[in-house]
Amino acid sequence: MRLIMNENFHNETIAFDGFSFKNCTFTNCVIIITTLDFHFENCTFYGSTLHVSQDLPIFEVTSRLSQSNYDTETNCYRDDYKYPRTTVPLPTTSVH
């Protein structure tokens, strides 16, 4: 897995599969997660949208999502850009 550390991403679409992100910031990004071959730790998300494949186990995905911080404008959906969207609750830690 390729490690990416201390990067700031803005207005990008990023496939997390195959990458490990540490101490990164994502602002107005679209995050696509289709496999469990990813890791992120101590990252912060502002106004971003996470799309998680419906085929992935919700417990495993939720556990991984809990390793980072999200603002109130960030949303997470279990979909592959398909409707209807099922919202996945993000951890309640707020970012200022």
- Name the more confident of 78 and 49: 49
d(Cα 62, Cα 71) in Å, to the nearest integer?
16
**What was the pLDDT predicted at 36?**
92
Coil vs helix vs strand at 44: strand
- Whether 80 is covered by a domain: the verdict is yes
- Whether 43 is covered by a domain: the verdict is yes
The whole domain housing 60 covers 2-85
- Whether 93 is covered by a domain: the verdict is no
Instruction: Tell me how many domains the chain contains.
Output: 1
- Name the more confident of 55 and 91: 55
Helix/strand/coil percent split, the chain, to 5: 10, 40, 50
Q: Is 14 left (phi over 0), alpha (psi -120 to 50) or beta?
A: beta
- Whether 94 is covered by a domain: the verdict is no
- Whether 52 is covered by a domain: the verdict is yes
- Whether 91 is covered by a domain: the verdict is no
Grade residue 38 by pLDDT with cuts at 50, 70 and 90: very high
Name the least confident of 8-12, 40-44, 62-66. Answer: 62-66
